[in-house]
Structure 1
Amino acid sequence: MAGRCWKPEIWHGIWIAGLVQGLIHDVPTVAELIDRIIAEAAGLISDRLAGVLNPTKEN
């Protein structure tokens, strides 16, 4: 085996693509996808970083 190059077989990619196809439930437009990403990011920022963005005045 030493010195031999590994050459991918075409069916390796097909197998992986076939497994992932079942996880795709919709195909949004680019605009819809960007809107979802922005909404998700805004939600994460407001939920997880609320204390950083709007610190309470305890002192």
Structure 2
Amino acid sequence: MVRVVRGSASGFLDLAGTEGVHRREVVVRTDRNEDLLVALLDDVVYRLDAGARCRSAWN
């Protein structure tokens, strides 16, 4: 799943030459891989948005 999320994120982020600096654990309870993927992508978008809001508040 990590590779799928990273591949999806590379569609709107430049990930060339990057490596992870933080690790986040997410608990998702579902029986279907499709639901798991949607939940993970939703979490990534939320964290990107929340992080951008935090950074802009500090500037």
Shorter chain as denominator, the TM-score bin is: 0.3 to 0.5
Higher relative contact order (CA 8 A, sep 6+): 2
Q: TM-score, structure 1 length as denominator?
A: 0.37
